[in-house]
Amino acid sequence: MSRKLQVVSLLVVVGLAGLGWWLFQPDTRAAVALPDGTQPDAPAIRPHTDIPVTHFEAALAHAQTLGEAPESLTGTQVDGQLQVTEQGELLITPDLRWVFDYFLSTQGEETLADCQARLARYLNENLPPDAAAEAWRLFQQYLALGDAMMALPPHDGSPAGIREAVRQRHAMQQAYLGPEAAEAFYGLDMAYDRYMADRQSILDDSSLNEAEQQQRLMALQQTLPSQMQSMLEETRAHVLLAEKTEALREQGASEAEIRALREQHFGAAAADRLEALDEARAQWDARYAEYQQQRQSILNSGLAAEDQQAAVLRLQQAYFSEQELHRVQALDRIAQDGSS
């Protein structure tokens, strides 16, 4: 089962829903001087060759002390393929970033040092020595880039502010990774960032009527790489279907009518999957609603705060799996913030 496809689909859905500006925020984790020097108080960029081989060797040694992979990786395969030339030199491709992200995805289940150690072992087992060392150096620059982008200030939401945020991100990617790796790792992201900035400018242009606005938006989409155009079209189709489904349900349509609509758009197999998703979502909603009632009873019980917290935790563990707990706790915080 590939984790990459799940992540890509989520990014596109979020972007189309109007929340795509989070793309201008960091992917992972100290600021860096941009090529034009516009980022103040930034440390100098450390070249790949400054990362000692002993760093890689230390990670490999640490890997020998690790146990089984985290539970979230059970039943999955490493996203992306490591590739080399006939001479054994590392090929820098988009897949390399997916390999990095696959191992970084377990942060929270284990430490960053453990994540890096598992990656180091994987590189060592699947690449020639020099290529493995180069991939490790690039990975360290990738981590440093994440740190640097965390330090970028948020934009103000204006088209000009968004464009400046895009420019800063892209300059930073080039500065840390070099043109080849930046394009391989972030080429589609860069195209999408520019698309979203231009799209917002069109939406904010009060001189355009609705027809002119839609015409420009369609023309803008045609400037995207074909791969991204296909992703946007597919996602838009799913969004439209969801809207039609919701409208039919509000009008009292039967499940047979809903299925017919889904089959018309995506076929019988997809309709089966959507029905299964509906059932799973309904079960989740019922379980969470029952949990909420019992949680509220605990909060109203008059117990000391420490005892309430312990009782709620026991309740969560009784109703939800370890993987579900983060979602439940986030929903609880949202509900608490909304009521305060």
pLDDT tens digits for range 161-200: 877 888 888 899 999 999 999 989 988 888 888 887 888 8
State the chain's mean pLDDT as an integer.
Answer: 78
Residue 26 has pLDDT above 80, yes or no: no
* Residue closest to 37 by CA, chosen among 205, 217, 168, 199: 168
Query: Worst-scoring range by mean pLDDT, 13-22, 123-132, 199-208, 215-224?
Result: 13-22
How far lies 118's CA from each of 53, 107, 216, 337, in Å?
17, 12, 47, 38
Mean pLDDT of 21-33: 34
For 290-309, how does the pLDDT look when each residue is reduced to its tens digit (9 = 90+)? 999 999 999 898 889 888 88
Dump pLDDT digits (tens) for 99-153. Answer: 999 999 888 888 889 999 999 999 999 999 999 999 999 999 999 998 888 888 8
Higher pLDDT, 242 or 24: 242
What is the structure's pLDDT at 158?
A: 76
pLDDT at position 42 over 80 = no
- In sequence order, what are the residues at sequence separation of 6 or more whose Cβ sits closer than 8 angstroms to the Cβ of residue 318? none
* pLDDT of the residue at 129: 92
Query: Hunting for tokens 């990095």 — which residue is that?
Result: 100
Q: What are phi and psi of 90, to 5 degrees?
A: -65, 130
Question: Both ends of the chain: CA-CA distance in Å?
Answer: 41
At 208 the three-state DSSP class reads coil
With CA atoms as reference, report the closest residue to 186 among 198, 171, 164: 171
Kindly report the number of other CB atoms within 10 A of residue 280's CB atom: 10
pLDDT beyond 90 at 46: no
Residues 6+ apart with CB under 8 A from 100: 119, 139, 142
- Per-residue confidence (pLDDT) for residue 54, from 0 to 100: 59
pLDDT of res. 154: 79
Say what the pLDDT of residue 339 is.
61
